[in-house]
Amino acid sequence: MIIDKAEVVVTSPDRNFVTLKLTTDDGLTGIGDATLNGRELAVVSYLTEHVVPLLLGRDAHRIEDTWQFLYRSAYWRRGPVTMAAIAAVDMALWDIKGKAAGMPVYQLLGGASRNGLLAYGHASGKDLPELFDSVRSHQEQGYRAIRIQTGVPGLKSIYGIASNATYEAMDGVRYDHEPAQRGARPAEEDWDTRSYLRHVPGVFEAVRNEFGPELPLLHDAHHRLTPIQAAQLGKSLEPYDLFWLEDVTPAENQEALRLVRQHTTTPLAIGEIFNTVWDYQQIIREQLIDYVRSAVTHTGGISHLRRVLDYAAQYQIKSGMHGPTDISPVGMAAAMHLGLSIHNFGIQEYMKHGAKTDEVFRQSFTWTDGFLHPGDAPGLGVELDVDEAGKYPYVQAYLPFNRLADGTVHDW
């Protein structure tokens, strides 16, 4: 089983996706997701110029050896571009191994540890009536756990709220929240932490009053707070029993979470922008988080994220894999196979992709009563239609950035 072809496919049905497609000499194909939102072409270049030439002629069965070779032989380790490229190779090789074995990937990882994966969706609204409608619509779609994001009085556009501008930029495609916008420059949003901290507890009180105590609710602070502000938010949300509070501080400083942890019992989730186990070393060992947010796509693939989650399991920390629309259907499938097999699965983020995306990527997962299942097709269970992908060339798009009232750039 020698890799004799490796192609990098860039396509933009609804949004940009980067996919690595490997073909072996006996005709098996495997695909992996390498999408890095807003920096897609950097990964394309890393793969095309530096990884593809090294893959040709290698034994496709040797997943671990290939992973170690790509990680260590580069000398320059880690980083989102490198780790997304390695992730794509890793996923594609697991896909091929599954097809060679005639088994879905989760069987190769030890088999199912559960019947399905509890998933949460994104409800949002600029005000409470719009938010309540969005929560109801998610419940009608079967979601049993819901992330809550709202507008903050005085701020024009804010992370997590589906806006008409976004729909227009996305050719009218309705995503519950897609922050990247097509165009030559990133959109500028505004931010004020004090207004946010004042407003959010009242929103959760209203949501609990409307929807009752049972519904698991989540919230994303998206890296914007200082440690003491994060502690304040965690405390103020305790009465509303959150499933988790996500990314309260910028993730680079792991120690910041110690201070947050000393002040609040609100469960914490972090890690969507982490890319190796080293980013988690201290926060897992010191039990400073409750959920690991890494995506398979951004953390070196199934092989490496499984290591992170095995380490987390020793501390009763669970998975909460990132699953926004910028994770392609291939990356989502990889997350589902991994999540189904590990013991310490927590919850899976799940936003539906657009109709065009679903035509480019033919998928075999199921969504039943709020639970995902990757399906039983051999490999990852996703087929890339290269002709269909070719209809949608890359479109430049950027994630937004924030400025404070005085013009200072703030974390987005």
What is the binding site for ligand EZ4 (CB under 6 A)? 37, 179, 220, 222, 272, 324, 326, 399
User: Of these partners, Co ion, ligand EZ4, none, which one is at the site of residue 179 (CB under 5 to 8 Å by kind)?
Assistant: ligand EZ4
In whole angstroms, the minimum distance from the beta carbon of 272 to ligand EZ4 comes to: 6
Active site residues: 159, 222
Comparison of 37 and 363: residue with beta carbon closer to ligand EZ4: 37
Helix (H) or strand (E) holding 137: helix 128-140
For residues 54 and 332, what is the distance between their CA atoms, to the nearest angstrom?
Answer: 26
User: Of these partners, Co ion, ligand EZ4, none, which one is at the site of residue 326 (CB under 5 to 8 Å by kind)?
Assistant: ligand EZ4
CB distance 60 to 98 below 8 Å: no
In the bound state, the residue with its beta carbon closest to Co ion is 220
Task: Rule CB under 5 A: choose which of 40, 220, 279, 383 binds Co ion.
Answer: 220
Residue 349 touching Co ion (CB under 5 A):
no
> Which residue's structure tokens are 């896909």?
95
Comparison of 105 and 351: residue with beta carbon closer to Co ion: 351
Helix (H) or strand (E) holding 149: strand 146-150
Comparison of 63 and 270: residue with beta carbon closer to Co ion: 270
CB distance 346 to 327 below 8 Å: no
- Burial of residue 388, with CB atoms counted within 10 A of its CB: 0-12 exposed, 13-18 middle, 19 or more buried: middle
> Which residue's structure tokens are 């980013």?
279
State phi, psi for 193 to the nearest 5 degrees. -65, -40
Helix (H) or strand (E) holding 25: none
Q: Which residues contact 245 (CB under 8 A, 6 or more apart)?
A: 218, 219, 221, 233, 234, 237, 266, 267, 268, 269
Helix (H) or strand (E) holding 71: helix 63-73
In whole angstroms, the minimum distance from the beta carbon of 272 to Co ion comes to: 5
Comparison of 47 and 162: residue with beta carbon closer to Co ion: 162
User: Of these partners, Co ion, ligand EZ4, none, which one is at the site of residue 189 (CB under 5 to 8 Å by kind)?
Assistant: none
Comparison of 66 and 297: residue with beta carbon closer to ligand EZ4: 297
In whole angstroms, the minimum distance from the beta carbon of 249 to Co ion comes to: 13
In whole angstroms, the minimum distance from the beta carbon of 269 to Co ion comes to: 8
Residues at the contact surface with Co ion, assessed by CB under 5 A = 220, 272
